[in-house]
A and B are shown apart, each in its own frame.
Chain A
């Protein structure tokens, strides 16, 4: 049935499409035949020839309309109409280049902002894991004697590899740190990952350039090869395709770049910059393996069809066979097999904070798009008024309203699609700078304008065109024939009434601008509050050097203590250095937390136990940071190994655990055995250890010489800012003289704050919102200017009459300005309410234990300064934008104006 129909209809459709002229000709001929016969019929009845023709035509009621109906019957006519409309639309747009340029640019700005943000959100959160069939990837952990989950040892990795039958690939990796200096002056610390040769194949990741590691590169001596992450290649090697084969110095060893990865490795591995082969035999000494755990992370790919349950069962069996290397057979030791993708479903706090920041900017970019769209809609409305005549004529000729609306919508769609394409192209050019702006939030964020982003942008343009082109199209096509064809009536008809929708749109733009500016203002004030908050220490003129010990040496605490003393001593005698303090975690780095037992100040009560942050510091640390001791003493040189164990607490600690008493003389201890009670010898003033916006927390300090951590920092206070460069240039040489095998990173306390998690999270959001705020101001200016100009042009006659009747020029300007001020104040009023409502969605707390994040800090949601400034800014911008049209109105020559028509 269906098929039979096609036999008839398909050739007809093809004919209508491709033999259009022929079909049209036939239609004409058919109708002409009818008309001729009909005329003959009338003639036969004795009607005059002219009358007969007229009657024959009349019987058709609307020949052209009927033809159009016949064309519609063809089913493919819409394509025809479309191409007609597009051609007509393009012609019209070409005829008014000013309008077209403004509209297209406005749309491009709106769509561009959204393309950029969508691209960021997409790469950061929406795309799946960039691995081949991630469902088959598993993560293997062990559970050890202490009952905790650990990453396995290289030995356990070997066991699983040898015994397991269910996996296609079993790969291992381990975090490492690499020091890299591009030009021998600045050394950078790159996050590295040591991987087995089958690691990339296991994930199903192909390099963009070069190759994967080879099996033989997993042997000592042949492992001098690295693969760069895409980000590293782009930021540190300027995306230079010739890096393959180049030798670089990493940790003072030569390494050849053999590959560059194609894309991000997803949220889990995104911070990694450099990959090197893992050499099982010398793993511990490779690439400054982090935290000295000497363990590996195992990722394995299940064979097709193998379930997680089967893999778990097999892991049990392997674990039961596995003998502990030091012959202590342990029954409790187990392997845990986990779905790899599972880890990504619950993102960590940093990611969730960044996610929140990106959503904020996404909302802001949406607001920018709304402003841009209503802007263009108001311009289209104004233009529609100018075209009333044209539309009235067309409707008189029998053009139906729906046909007219379709044509007007085609025009606006053309505008929006042009804008959209320009937006995508420009966004593509700006990929680098946008990526750079946003990447602070977290490492995985980057912008890549690909087909996906392109399609979405064009879809958004198209939908906006339909949504925002509809109002002007409806308005313009609603034409009262008689009134509009009567010329004289024109000005009377197009009075205040037809300007109302435009005014509404301008007010909407102002309101949206207000919401955006208030949101930006509140977050900017929070950012400034954080940046300039009282930290409790003086970060100016303090350099930092963070030193890592080679893990295979300095295993004994006294050796470490000696090395630290040595480095500190040498530093102190550099000219220009005022004092040097040692610490294991600098401010803004946070600290380790441990359960501490704290002696109770109340007699005969047992010690309190609480999880407390602790920091290990050297004798001059507090004075170097200019943090005052409130009571007791600072640590001394003598508080070393063998001396009686001491501690210092901060003010919050004292207030919390010793309310009303002086904690000096009381004791506290770690929960280890044997328990060592440490005497509190001083109380230090509070200062921020993790981030500027956190609540003050109880902190305990221990002498660095009694704890000797494997990684510690020197805080070096320089006498004057002019000495900074000089001192900084001497630090490296000095440390090298202490031990040429040390690894270190240089910085400054101010850079530490600049790069703190709080500010790096907030900065991109504030920067992006600032640019959106600026964009929205530009758009409001364009919108107000355009609409006011149109309305002045429309009222030229009225203004001429007023002038002729003696209205002075200031009054005329007032007329124009009053109108836009009225609209603006309405917009501001509504905008203020909307901003209040929107501000309720701004969070006031960070996510996660670190306390940082993107939220309101030190500013209330109803901060009057922010609202006031935003309103004042918008009002002045609107006034400035309507000033030019107002001036034009003042200069209207009544004679010319009245002769206008």
Chain B
């Protein structure tokens, strides 16, 4: 009911950190960017996006400020902190190791 079952556990955090590392964005923009860059493969419901963002904020990895958005309305923009950058490096490293290992296993020829 509440967990994003459409994504490998923990990958949503990685995605969000990566997206925000590129440029500060508001929530709506993040949801659009997610769809855009993953080419609709990764389905993240709008519902699970905000709790995840708030969690990252409370961890101190991203920080928020209210700014005017592209259509001149006040919106909450998130950007990466120094801690967040380090976290991103760590998670990206983990992800690379994990995906490499899994693809290695998947590519094994059947004997």
* Chain A residues within 8 Å of B, Cβ to Cβ: 4-5, 7-9, 12, 26, 29-31, 33-34, 37-38, 59-63, 65-66, 69-70, 72-75, 400
**In the bound complex, how far is the Cα of B75 from the Cα of A8, in angstroms?**
21
**In the bound complex, how far is the Cα of B54 from the Cα of A61, in angstroms?**
17
B95 near A: Cβ within 8 Å? no
Q: Decide if A4 touches B47 in the complex (CB within 8 Å).
A: no
29 A-B contact pairs sorted by A residue (CB < 8 Å) = A4-B60, A5-B59, A8-B63, A8-B81, A9-B60, A12-B58, A12-B60, A26-B76, A30-B26, A30-B27, A30-B50, A33-B26, A33-B27, A34-B28, A34-B31, A34-B50, A38-B46, A59-B46, A60-B47, A61-B45, A62-B47, A65-B2, A66-B47, A69-B51, A70-B51, A72-B51, A73-B54, A74-B58, A400-B1
Q: How many residues of B contact A (CB 8 A)?
A: 28
In the complex, given contacts A66-B51, A75-B58, what are 8 additional A-B residue pairs having Cβ atoms less than 8 angstroms apart?
A: A30-B27, A31-B50, A33-B73, A33-B75, A34-B27, A59-B46, A60-B46, A70-B51
Q: Which residues of A are found within 8 Å of B69, using beta-carbon distances? A: 33
Q: Decide if A34 touches B2 in the complex (CB within 8 Å).
A: no
Residue of A nearest to B46 (CB): A59
Q: Decide if B54 touches A8 in the complex (CB within 8 Å).
A: no
**In the bound complex, how far is the Cα of B54 from the Cα of A34, in angstroms?**
15
B91 near A: Cβ within 8 Å? no
Chain B 37-58 interface mask (CB, 8 Å, partner A; 1/0): 0000000011110110011011
Max chain B C-beta neighbours (<10 A), residue from A7, A30, A72, A75: A30
B98 near A: Cβ within 8 Å? no
**In the bound complex, how far is the Cα of B84 from the Cα of A7, in angstroms?**
13
**In the bound complex, how far is the Cα of B76 from the Cα of A76, in angstroms?**
21
Q: Which residues of B are found within 8 Å of A62, using beta-carbon distances? A: 1, 47
Interface residues of B in 67-104 (CB under 8 A from A): 69, 73-76, 81-83
Least CB distance, B57 to chain A, in whole angstroms: 7
Max chain A C-beta neighbours (<10 A), residue from B31, B51, B74, B81: B51
**In the bound complex, how far is the Cα of B31 from the Cα of A208, in angstroms?**
73
Q: Which residues of A are found within 8 Å of B27, using beta-carbon distances? A: 30, 33-34
Q: Decide if A5 touches B83 in the complex (CB within 8 Å).
A: yes
**In the bound complex, how far is the Cα of B75 from the Cα of A319, in angstroms?**
92
Least CB distance, A81 to chain B, in whole angstroms: 16
**In the bound complex, how far is the Cα of B27 from the Cα of A777, in angstroms?**
63
Contact with B55, one of A59, A65, A73 (Cβ below 8 angstroms):
A73
Contact with A59, one of B26, B45, B59, B73 (Cβ below 8 angstroms):
B45
Q: Which residues of A are found within 8 Å of B45, using beta-carbon distances? A: 59-61
Q: Which residues of A are found within 8 Å of B74, using beta-carbon distances? A: 29, 33
Contact with A34, one of B46, B55, B66 (Cβ below 8 angstroms):
B46
Least CB distance, B41 to chain A, in whole angstroms: 18
**In the bound complex, how far is the Cα of B44 from the Cα of A61, in angstroms?**
12
Max chain A C-beta neighbours (<10 A), residue from B1, B54, B73, B82: B54
**In the bound complex, how far is the Cα of B48 from the Cα of A38, in angstroms?**
15
With A8-B81, A34-B46, A65-B2 as known contacts, state yes or no: A73 contacts B76, CB within 8 Å. no
Q: Decide if B76 touches A8 in the complex (CB within 8 Å).
A: no
Residue of A nearest to B61 (CB): A8
Residue of A nearest to B2 (CB): A69
Q: Which residues of B are found within 8 Å of A9, using beta-carbon distances? A: 58-60
**In the bound complex, how far is the Cα of B50 from the Cα of A33, in angstroms?**
12
Q: Which residues of B are found within 8 Å of A7, using beta-carbon distances? A: 60
Q: Decide if A61 touches B75 in the complex (CB within 8 Å).
A: no
With A33-B75, A60-B47, A65-B2 as known contacts, state yes or no: A73 contacts B28, CB within 8 Å. no
Q: Decide if B83 touches A73 in the complex (CB within 8 Å).
A: no
**In the bound complex, how far is the Cα of B51 from the Cα of A75, in angstroms?**
12
**In the bound complex, how far is the Cα of B27 from the Cα of A59, in angstroms?**
14
**In the bound complex, how far is the Cα of B28 from the Cα of A62, in angstroms?**
17
With A9-B59, A59-B47, A66-B47 as known contacts, state yes or no: A74 contacts B54, CB within 8 Å. yes
Q: Decide if B60 touches A8 in the complex (CB within 8 Å).
A: yes
**In the bound complex, how far is the Cα of B31 from the Cα of A33, in angstroms?**
13
Least CB distance, A814 to chain B, in whole angstroms: 48
Q: Which residues of A are found within 8 Å of B54, using beta-carbon distances? A: 69-70, 73-74
Interface residues of B in 1-15 (CB under 8 A from A): 1-2
**In the bound complex, how far is the Cα of B69 from the Cα of A62, in angstroms?**
26
**In the bound complex, how far is the Cα of B59 from the Cα of A61, in angstroms?**
25
Q: Which residues of B are found within 8 Å of A63, using beta-carbon distances? A: 47
**In the bound complex, how far is the Cα of B1 from the Cα of A65, in angstroms?**
10
Least CB distance, B85 to chain A, in whole angstroms: 12
Least CB distance, B77 to chain A, in whole angstroms: 10
Q: Decide if B28 touches A33 in the complex (CB within 8 Å).
A: yes
Least CB distance, A699 to chain B, in whole angstroms: 84
**In the bound complex, how far is the Cα of B27 from the Cα of A63, in angstroms?**
15
Q: Decide if B83 touches A4 in the complex (CB within 8 Å).
A: yes
**In the bound complex, how far is the Cα of B54 from the Cα of A33, in angstroms?**
16
Q: Decide if B60 touches A5 in the complex (CB within 8 Å).
A: yes
With A5-B60, A30-B75, A33-B26 as known contacts, state yes or no: A73 contacts B82, CB within 8 Å. no
Q: Which residues of A are found within 8 Å of B63, using beta-carbon distances? A: 8
**In the bound complex, how far is the Cα of B11 from the Cα of A374, in angstroms?**
47
Q: Which residues of B are found within 8 Å of A69, using beta-carbon distances? A: 2, 50-51, 54
Q: Which residues of B are found within 8 Å of A400, using beta-carbon distances? A: 1
**In the bound complex, how far is the Cα of B12 from the Cα of A54, in angstroms?**
26
Q: Which residues of B are found within 8 Å of A73, using beta-carbon distances? A: 51, 54-55, 57-58
**In the bound complex, how far is the Cα of B2 from the Cα of A72, in angstroms?**
12
**In the bound complex, how far is the Cα of B45 from the Cα of A223, in angstroms?**
91
Least CB distance, A414 to chain B, in whole angstroms: 28
Least CB distance, B19 to chain A, in whole angstroms: 16
